[in-house]
Amino acid sequence: MIKDNIWHPFTPLAEGYDPLEIVKADGVYLHTKDGRKILDAVSSWWVNIHGHANKKIANAISEQAHNLEHVIFAGFTHEPAETLAQSLLELLPTMSKVFFSDDGSTAIEVALKICLQHFHNKKKIEEKNRRKIIAIEGAYHGDTFGAMAVCDRTPFNAPFNPLLFEVEFIPRPTEKNWNEVKEKFSKIVETEEVAAFIFEPIIQGAGGMQTYSPKHLDQLIQLAHQKDTFCIADEIMTGFGRTDHLFASEYLQEKPDLICLSKGITGGFLPLAVTLCTEKVAKPFYDNDILKTFFHGHSYTGNPIACAAANASLELLLSDECNQNRKRIAEKHINFAKQINCNNSIKDKILEVRTCGTIFALELKTDEQTSYFNEWRKNIYSYFLEKNILLRPLGNVIYMIPPYIITNEELDKVYEEILRFLSS
């Protein structure tokens, strides 16, 4: 069968892994070829923020496809990209430039390269080389080589570690380790060799939906800025309303110099990403010397159809209805977390329950260390899929990150099944 020739991501090439064939999707549901109806509680890898087959986005794509499907973006422009850029700059007013790319990993690659080339373009003989990058332990920023380099070193990237550039990692800050983290960070930036500090603002996604304090991140950004180190906010997961703000950077008093966006940008319809930066970051690229050009671009950069989808998705996101839905989901998550913490029969099985806006995470106590490879992930995934609920755990961390259109009844269905799982 031809499906045996398709190499699926994050899936072993071994017997026993038979992918489900999806023939249709609508709202929060995936419909399989054999007649099942599966509730997508993780927004199909966090991208589908308005539900599947949203008519407004689908119509915008159709209309754009009949007008302009694609044009080379080097030396050309078009209205869908300009509209999207203007909207993003209005929502993120500290930013000045918008660079289009294809997905989260490439948005990160762009940000890292811009920072490194910024210092290359302006370097004077007496200045030190700024080639170091600081990242946070437990980070995940993507699967391409630059993005992998700033990820936590795990079995995910072990085959490639010898080829990754060195990165200075600091622990994820907590109340207990804050003085240690601050001291280590200060010593690294004091060298004046650091080009950028990259972070997932206030919550690490693939690292287990681990949260940390905005006040600690603010202080790290302040220390970085004092030593002319740029700060990159990876908002690929947190952007477009996943937290209690449209962007998690809004929790911060100290603002990043670059912001990477993708995932929810088109509402789950088409791949697209952007990297935004301040005027200060872009300044050394304003030069008639051709060698100071940012030589980076992809064939589908700024694709008009993807931009049209993003514009329609953004209009939905900014509506009062969507805003109220996000608040409703956040409140439901908080109440469910309280319910779990008050349940004496199951709380001994739980290490921690975390909520942040529309994100809910429950970390199970296990004998193994918390990680993606914790054996509990197999049991959790299979259990919920058998119940026609798609929850793709991060090891021993059960999490929900649903489309914003999910109803209270659908949320309750997932909550009830989580409670049954914990009681089993």
Residues 165-193 pLDDT 10s: 999 999 999 999 999 999 999 999 999 99
Question: Is beta strand 29-32 parallel, antiparallel or unpaired with respect to 389-390?
Answer: unpaired
CATH, residue 196: 3.40.640.10
Residues 46 and 88 in one domain: no
Residues 183 and 154 in one domain: yes
Residues 289 and 211 in one domain: yes
The reported pLDDT for the residue numbered 126 is 52
From 317, 349, 378, give the residue that closes a domain.
317
Q: How far apart are CA 382 and CA 391, in angstroms?
A: 9
Residues 19 and 87 in one domain: no
The reported pLDDT for the residue numbered 52 is 98
Q: Which of 199, 109, 231 is nearest to 99 (CA)?
A: 109
From 285, 302, 317, give the residue that closes a domain.
317
Residues 29 and 72 in one domain: no
Residues 335 and 412 in one domain: yes
Residues 83 and 122 in one domain: yes
Q: Which of 32, 14, 68 is nearest to 305 (CA)?
A: 68
Q: For residues 359-374, give the mean pLDDT.
A: 83
* Model confidence pLDDT, tens digit, residues 403-419: 999 999 999 999 999 99
Q: Which of 257, 303, 312, 265 is nearest to 283 (CA)?
A: 257
The reported pLDDT for the residue numbered 188 is 98
CATH, residue 381: 3.90.1150.10
Q: For residues 342-354, give the mean pLDDT.
A: 92
Residues 123 and 236 in one domain: yes
Domain that residue 365 falls in: 2-53+320-423
Confidence of residue 371 (pLDDT cuts 50, 70, 90): low
pLDDT for 367 beyond 90: no
Confidence of residue 341 (pLDDT cuts 50, 70, 90): very high
* Model confidence pLDDT, tens digit, residues 277-300: 999 999 999 999 999 999 999 999
What is the total count of domains within the chain?
A: 2
The reported pLDDT for the residue numbered 156 is 85
The reported pLDDT for the residue numbered 127 is 65
The reported pLDDT for the residue numbered 377 is 83
The reported pLDDT for the residue numbered 236 is 98
Beta bridge mates, 334: none
Residues 375 and 312 in one domain: no
